[in-house]
Chains A and B, each alone.
Chain A
Amino acid sequence: MKKICCLLALLLLALFEQSAAQDAEALVKKVKSRLDKVNDYTATGEMKTNVSFMKVPAAQVKVYFKKPDKIKIKNEKGISLVPKGTVSISLNHLLGGQYQVLDGGADKVEGLTVRVVKLLPLDESNEVVLSKLYIDEARLLILKAKTTTRENGTNELEMEYGKYADQALPDKIVFTFNTLEYKLPKGVTFDYDDGSQKKKQTGTADDQRGKIEITFSSYIINKGVPDEVFK
């Protein structure tokens, strides 16, 4: 009897998992279909860069997107040093291609219960090794995405939605990424030593992570974006 109960439990679990997986897949499909409604956009926003070795003022930037996964952050009036993994801020990129969907259960993001979904790209040559999406099921919006890449470690993307939630476009994104330590080649120049005691703690975990935060003020959606922009 015990054995039958165990077998039944296992079967139910398997069925549940399959069902959950199918739920996860369906959820991802629903989210993707929302995202697919946006063919292109030009977003205007303010970008703040927080990297241990960079002191950068807030910059007015434009973010260009074009299906399937072209994305470019541009500071048209100045200079911004943008991390190389910015393609990861394009959710379309994460949700494009072939992948296996795994249910990651539930979690909380900013106090809100979300569904966690893992995406394993089937293409072994894909730069992305694993993506973990935190999805608000009710609104079909991705609130957070953790992406593990081959070359650039793990990136994290957090999104807040507001005015453009209907188009699944965030009002604010925070993109956290890995950096290498910066060092000016020796002998190029001497710094001014102001005698203050600050000593950079190189090698700490924080120093190896950088963050850019873009707060969008407007989107121009599906009005066309020329390809030259992405060169």
Chain B
Amino acid sequence: MWQLLQIELFKIFRKSRTYISFGAIAAMVIIVQMALKFDGRSYIEFILGSLKETLDIPYATILNGYFVCFIILNLLLIHIPLLIALVAGDEVAGEANMGTLRLLVSKPVSRTELMLAKFFATVVYTALLLAWMAFLSLVLSILLFGTNDLIVARSNAIEIINRNDVMWRYLAAFAYATIALTTVAALAFLLSVFAENSIGPIVSTISIVIVFTILSEMQIPLYDRTVKPYLFTSHMLGWKGFFYLKTDADGISMPGTVENLPAVLKSMGILLIYIVAFAGSALVVFKKKDILS
């Protein structure tokens, strides 16, 4: 199994399209960092504009590495699913398209082992992509902008988090984001089993993510009550929950806390269930599939 995993990782990282993902992330992150370096104040004014009249806003200290990293995550975690689907959707469909699937399945490895190896290779790719993004968006931002307290702008509240209380939250957030994106990978992986060309699974995955995201965020009571709690996209933003703090009776933030950790963990659990469901279904379907390509 370990050898199969190595083989699958070897195949993934020998394809040039894999590096497109890493390059795309680097480009996007650096573009955002450069924009904020030149005119971060405008962005902060835009975010906190409604408070300008009543509060003194220390723009220089707000624009620090932690804040820049948060902005990047907000912007990019919508686009990253496409880069994940590019590889995950190609895992089985790409082999069918290339004609190599029949050779793989006729080897003395079980279909279960083969699929598990492929799936775990996709998970490793996802984790590495997130690690790359974490490095660029957090480490590089800290180098460029320094550190200070983090301001998190929610839709109707502002959180200020002490600088000493930020790093562990980012580590937790990146771990959570890895699980969230693995859910997308698992979906693309499942769709890949049904196709003999990777375009179909990639486009289908992105379409599903977009439609579900719209349903999750539209705030229409009918959808809020019925479908929203069950959509995996509703839980993909759970990483932000690590940046919402509990308050005491006086409304003062309590460092080291998470406003609703059970909810975040529940969302994480739901995503894990989706991962198992998608990957498990892929395995079940593939085991019965006639390889005609």
Contact = CB atoms under 8 A, between A and B. Distances in A.
Interface of A: 48-58, 75, 77-84, 86, 152, 177-185, 188-196, 200, 202
A164 B155 CA distance: 42
A184 B253 contact: no
B240 interface: yes
A152 B260 contact: no
Interface of B: 46-47, 49-51, 53-58, 61-62, 74, 148-149, 151, 153-163, 165, 216-217, 228-229, 234, 237-241, 244-245, 247, 250-255, 259-260, 263-264, 267
B46 A57 contact: no
A81 B50 contact: no
Pick the most buried of B46, B234, B240: most chain A CB atoms within 10 A of its CB. B240
Nearest to B64: A79
Contact of A182 (B151, B156, B255, B263): B156
Given A78-B163, A182-B50, A195-B263, A83 B56 contact: yes
Nearest to A51: B251
A180 B237 contact: no
**6 A-B pairs with the lowest CB-CB distances in the bound complex, closest first:** A194-B263, A78-B149, A192-B240, A79-B149, A57-B253, A50-B251
Contact of A189 (B74, B149, B241): B74
Given A191-B237, A192-B237, A196-B263, A180 B163 contact: no
Pick the most buried of A50, A56, A181, A200: most chain B CB atoms within 10 A of its CB. A56
A192 B161 contact: no
B162 A190 contact: no
Contacts of A152: 54
Given A78-B61, A192-B239, 18 more contacts: A48-B252, A53-B158, A55-B244, A56-B252, A78-B148, A78-B160, A79-B61, A79-B62, A79-B160, A80-B160, A81-B160, A84-B55, A178-B54, A185-B46, A185-B47, A185-B49, A190-B216, A194-B244
A152 B272 CA distance: 50
Nearest to B62: A79
A81 B156 contact: no
Contact of A49 (B229, B252, B260, B264): B252
A50 to B, nearest CB: 4
Contacts of A50: 250-252
A98 to B, nearest CB: 28
A152 B251 CA distance: 23
Contact of A81 (B56, B228, B251): B56
B56 A184 contact: no
8 contacts: A78-B162, A79-B148, A180-B50, A180-B51, A184-B47, A188-B153, A193-B234, A194-B267
Contacts of B237: 190-193
A82 B60 CA distance: 15
A183 B160 contact: no
Pick the most buried of B158, B239, B254: most chain A CB atoms within 10 A of its CB. B158
Contacts of A56: 158-160, 252-253
Contact of A83 (B54, B151, B239, B263): B54
A192 B258 CA distance: 13
Contacts of B50: 180-183
Contact of B158 (A81, A83, A192): A81
B260 A196 contact: yes
Contact of A191 (B240, B247, B255, B267): B240
A58 B47 CA distance: 23
A87 to B, nearest CB: 11
A52 B161 CA distance: 16
A50 B249 CA distance: 10
A26 to B, nearest CB: 37
A82 B55 contact: yes
Contacts of B153: 184, 188-189
B53 A180 contact: yes
A196 B58 CA distance: 32
Contacts of B154: 184, 191
